[in-house]
Amino acid sequence: MIKSDIFMSKYLIIFFILLLVSSQVFSQDLNYYGELTQGGLIRGKVKQGTKVFLDEKPVKVSRDGLFVFGFGRNHRAVSRLKIKYNNDLVEEKILTIVSRDWKTQKIDNLPSKMVVPNKDSLKTIRDNNIAISSARNINSNETWFMDDFIWPVKGIITGTYGTKRILNGESRQPHYGIDIAAPNGTEVLAPARGRVTLSELGHYYTGGTIILDHGHGLSTAYLHLKKLNVTLGQKVSKGQIIGYVGSTGRSTGDHLDWRVNWFKVRIDPQLVVRKKM
């Protein structure tokens, strides 16, 4: 009986040592970076054949093991990242998501129709929203989201992501982009490689609008443009001129409203660009 207990004890010790060692190797197979905060974007890499799940929902993984996902403005305090390796081992990480405090921004002197649109404008707004939503939901196989993103334009930041907005005294949905004031006609650059999924003038709220697909559901949008320099389906390189700053749509002055989405999840652009302006 004593020998049996000793044998079992040795077996358990060896088992836990092997488990510890395998867990360490296991964790080294997962690499990711980004801000674990509301509005944050996570980019990473795993071994080929590995599956990734965020809160039990599958995250697309490229043939090279690259993946991306993000957290919205109101993301809860905890998420679960599950990694299923091709040897059937499963690793689960608890991600603590930092909450943020949101400022309030008041904008007055907007035309009343830009705050409460008339009935004649509702169809246009609906059609615009459908076009934008379709462009943001493209799930291509490209992995341009791994590029080191640059600022699309340089200027003064006048509006930030997540801000509560009060327009002409009426509460409206939060601002999901970053407003960068720049002179009319300033060149707007592609922050990374991408493909044009929307390039249209005349949108009711966003005016001249461009959306770029960077792969796996990550897209960037450029609003209130004066002029467009790209066409639908065109592939663009990092730093290429895609349009020009204007004040079209619901705007009170020349600026670029830059937005980032992971499918329907709104991401903070300032957390995507690692370098300061």
pLDDT at 214: 99
Both tokens of 232, joined, read: 């639908």
Among the listed residues 127, 129, 231, 224, the one whose alpha carbon sits nearest the alpha carbon of residue 178: 224
pLDDT at 119: 85
Query: What's the average pLDDT block by block, 10 residues per block, for the chain (277 residues)?
Result: 47 42 50 96 94 97 97 97 89 95 85 82 94 98 98 96 87 92 98 99 97 99 99 98 97 96 98 82
pLDDT at 170: 78
- Per residue in 115-154, pLDDT tens? 788 888 899 999 999 999 999 999 999 999 999 999 999 9
pLDDT at 111: 80
Q: Give domain 104-271's CATH number out of 1.20.1730.10, 3.40.50.970, 2.70.70.10, 3.40.50.1370.
A: 2.70.70.10
**SS3 state of residue 224:** strand
Q: What is the mean pLDDT of the chain?
A: 89
For 96, list phi and psi in degrees, rounded to 5. -90, 115
Alpha-carbon distance of 146 to 124, in angstroms, equals 35
* Biggest CA pair distance of the chain: 88
- Per residue in 80-97, pLDDT tens? 999 998 888 899 999 999
| CATH architecture entry for 2-96 | Sandwich (2.60)
Q: Give the chain's end-to-end CA distance (angstroms, integer).
A: 71
Length of the chain, please? 277
Among the listed residues 68, 71, 212, 69, the one whose alpha carbon sits nearest the alpha carbon of residue 146: 68
pLDDT at 2: 46
Query: What are the residue ranges spanned by the domains of the chain?
Result: 2-96, 104-271
pLDDT at 242: 99
